[in-house]
Amino acid sequence: MHIPQVIAGELKIQLQQVDAVIQMLAEGSTIPFIVRYRKENTGGLDEDKLREIEDRLQYLTLLTERRESILKSITEQGKLTDELQHKIDACTRLQELEDLYLPYKPKRKTRGTVAKAKGLEPLSLFILDNPLFDGDIMEFAAGFINPELGVNSAEEAIQGAKDILAEMVSEKAEVRKFVRESLQNDSTVKSLKREDDSFKDTTNEKLKDKDKKDVYKIYYDFQIDIMKLKPYQILAINRAEEEKFLKVSLVHDETAMLGGIRNNFLGSVPTAFEALHSEVIEDSYKRLIFPSVEKEVRNTITELAELHAIENFAVNLRQLLLQRPFNDKMILGIDPGYISGCKVAIIDQTGKYLEGTTIYPHQPKNKATEAKELLNRLVKKYNVDVIAIGNGTASRETEQLVAELIKDHKLNTKYVIVNEAGASVYSASETAKKEFPDLEASLRGNISIARRLLDPLAELVKIDPKSIGVGMYQHDVNQKLLAKKLDDVVVSCVNHVGVDVNTASESLLAYVSGLNKKLAGNIVKHREKKGPFQEREQILEVAGIGEKTFEQAAGFLKIRNGKNPLDNTFIHPESYSATDKLLSMFNFNSSQIKESIGLIDFFVEKKGFKKVASEVGLGEPTLKDIIENLKRPGRDPREDVPPPILRSDVLSMADLKEGMRLKGTVRNVVDFGAFVDIGVKQDGLIHISHLATKFVKNPQDVLQVGDVIDVTIISVDAARKRIALSMIGKP
């Protein structure tokens, strides 16, 4: 198998594109570097396609290694035929390989192996190879009686032969493929509430609580065509089964299944041993095939559901990380709480921690007046522009307090609710301890909340992505795949935005193309010791950074107000000379980037894009990127994202009425809709049917995390704390 050719065929791209990507990956190039700076080599493949190539390369490499191992094993057994090798060589999936290997795989003790040890394999082969036999099979089987081996009668001999045949049926690749495809395409998933009540005796309080709430009630008597089963339903059913609330099975047409197995194993021609074969096939199916293949099929649909959930999490995470920063703002962050109080922190426009305190406006201390006086003093002392309030415990009570503060003192300050998921994880982390060694863990979360508003990306990279809370069933999916996918998202976002090498934290730098935690730490130590970097070339002076690392990282490390204006763009140092040549072609230089804005396009179009690219020695994609960076030097791609909603007043559930129109911020997008913060304690849900007037297959096609939208309230259930919203109005 020629792996690049297989990948090119699967992804419908040219072979030379795949070859180029594989070669660059082997040389140590990163996906962010390749997608931005090697467009000519890849033919402009986007990041998603590059990651597909990387994933398929890993899978097919594993497949090749497994194929070689299987071929070696079968060869050593002396059982490799040309036909079998051809089938093995043609496999493109690991499951197909394992099916072919099953008859030759070393086995533990089974009924079939025991029968073979008793010398009954020739009898089983005779039954299989003589479909027209017209004698008495019992008389023939009597010839295999051997008390020394444990065969005391013809009946025992026949039973042993049937056991051998049953295993032969179960090990035939075509049979397993037929059963697998039948279950995957034509079965019904059925779940029923467990009747034994065994789980009620558990000491697991979590299960008892869930039982009281009947969170799985919808699945207590549930069945659906397997092809119509939604990913979130699969994960919910799996969790309920794991927690012993449900019994789950795949229901199918057993008669049709047995008939299909017979045809795949024996063909369609009747034999003299029809009754015996029927017994063998039914036994093989019920005892050996179905339990195994049912598990495989459920694993397969679970894997697909997990991949879907992981992808959904990744999309939401990306949108959250790429939220617009609140640049140049003085921010007061509040981590709300009751008994332990509300932790307050002030940060400046660079994120520097200035002052912190604790207020106790809520029960049990109820020092609201004192809290407002203290907040008012801090707001005026530091000219606070915006107050960031965490959305956890006591969030809405704190919001009410802040709204009253703004109103009572006629402040120009606004407030915003910030998702605080993972703030406690950060507070206790080594990163937080290193940043604020003199503060208690409880006094760090408020700083994180404030910084999340200032620059979401720079702050959230310090937290395990799984703790950020913008997905569903993240604890039920493959944790290794989830971690890799989310890490890829963070890497993509950091390199999409770029970082200021003179202000970026060690956590942020570690995600830059070509860097790692150690090199990021070395960069921070270098600038602390020798001062800010004045130009990109100085990055080569950092311990551990050589030419290859510099090549991968330099374009993403920006320097504001440095010696060379190009250092504050995504233009790679390797293209500086070509960029200077481009500018000089139109009588500009690198110090005149601002003057060249608006004129470069005109001059290039007049002279001819291809001609200019040829004269400066660049590919057309790279030239296009350079021109875009010259037009918008230092641009943050997040500038195009709408800012979060700033508020000065507060709503409660009691204020909500059907038909009311409000603005809201999308907090999470899931398979069945989106959760939206409309300014009350409970997020509202827009069901997928209320996202648009047309059919919506995937909510991600309509909404993204962070979107600011207009919604209509269609129902309010105060008792159950549920708010139904619509983007198309009341039905």
Please report where in the chains the tokens 């490799």 appear, as a residue.
80
- How far apart, in whole angstroms, are the C-alpha atoms of residue 44 and residue 242? 45
Amino acid identity, position 337: G
Side-chain half-sphere CA neighbours of 249 within 13 A: 9
- How many C-beta neighbours within 10 Å does residue 362 have? 22
CB proximity list for 354: less than 8 A, separation 6 or greater: 346, 347, 348, 382
Alpha-carbon torsion (688, 690, 695, 696), positive or negative? negative
Topology of the domain covering 3-87: Arc Repressor Mutant, subunit A (1.10.10)
Q: How far from each other are the two terminal CA atoms of the chain, in whole angstroms?
A: 57
- How many C-beta neighbours within 10 Å does residue 481 have? 13
Which two three-digit tokens encode residue 301?
A: 């649909």
CB proximity list for 518: less than 8 A, separation 6 or greater: 544
Identify whether the C-beta of residue 335 lies closer than 8 Å to the C-beta of residue 446: yes
Write phi, then psi, for 485 (nearest 5 degrees). Answer: -65, -45
Biggest CA–CA distance in the chain, Å, is 106
Alpha-carbon torsion (546, 549, 555, 558), positive or negative? negative
Amino acid identity, position 131: P
How is the chain split among helix, strand and coil, in percent rounded to 5?
Answer: 55, 10, 30
Top-level CATH class of 331-454?
alpha beta
Which two three-digit tokens encode residue 58?
A: 């890993």
Query: Residue 359's beta-bridge partner residues?
Result: 342
Instruction: Please report how the helices 173-186 and 254-266 are oriented relative to each other, as an axis angle in degrees rounded to 10.
Output: 150
- How far apart, in whole angstroms, are the C-alpha atoms of residue 336 and residue 398? 6
CB proximity list for 534: less than 8 A, separation 6 or greater: 559, 562, 563
The pTM of this model reads: 0.86
Please report where in the chains the tokens 């694993």 appear, as a residue.
299
Phi-psi region of 410 (alpha: psi -120 to 50; beta: other; left: phi over 0): left
* Residue 293 host element (H or E): helix 290-321
**DSSP per-residue letters across 361-409:** -STTT--HHHHHHHHHHHHHHHT--EEEEESSTTHHHHHHHHHHHHHHT
Ranges of residues in the chain with a pLDDT under 70 are 196-214, 594-598, 729-731
Strand order from edge to edge, sheet including 188-193: 221-225, 188-193, 246-251
The domain segmentation of the chain, as residue ranges, is: 3-87, 331-454, 499-639, 653-726
Which two three-digit tokens encode residue 95?
A: 């499951």
* Residue 724 host element (H or E): strand 722-726
- How far apart, in whole angstroms, are the C-alpha atoms of residue 479 and residue 487? 12
Which two three-digit tokens encode residue 493?
A: 């976002």
**Helices (H) then strands (E): counts for the chain:** 32, 15
**DSSP per-residue letters across 21-55:** HHHHHHTT--HHHHHHH-HHHHTS--HHHHHHHHH
Determine the pLDDT at residue 490.
96
C-alpha 8: how far from its chain's center? 24
Determine the pLDDT at residue 203.
42
- How far apart, in whole angstroms, are the C-alpha atoms of residue 161 and residue 163? 5
- How far apart, in whole angstroms, are the C-alpha atoms of residue 726 and residue 714? 7
**DSSP per-residue letters across 595-641:** HHTTTHHHHHHHH-HHHHHHHHT--HHHHHHHHHHHHSTT--GGGGS
C-alpha 703: how far from its chain's center? 18
Tell the burial category of 152 from Cβ atoms under 10 Å away from its Cβ (0-12, 13-18, 19+).
exposed
Q: What is the CATH number of domain 499-639?
A: 1.10.150.310
Q: What is the CATH number of domain 653-726?
A: 2.40.50.140
Please report where in the chains the tokens 């913008």 appear, as a residue.
470
* Residue 125 host element (H or E): helix 121-129
- How far apart, in whole angstroms, are the C-alpha atoms of residue 614 and residue 608? 10
- How far apart, in whole angstroms, are the C-alpha atoms of residue 93 and residue 75? 21
Strands 386-390 and 414-418: parallel
- How far apart, in whole angstroms, are the C-alpha atoms of residue 542 and residue 267? 71
| DSSP single-letter state for residue 689 | G
CB proximity list for 44: less than 8 A, separation 6 or greater: 621
CB proximity list for 14: less than 8 A, separation 6 or greater: 8, 43
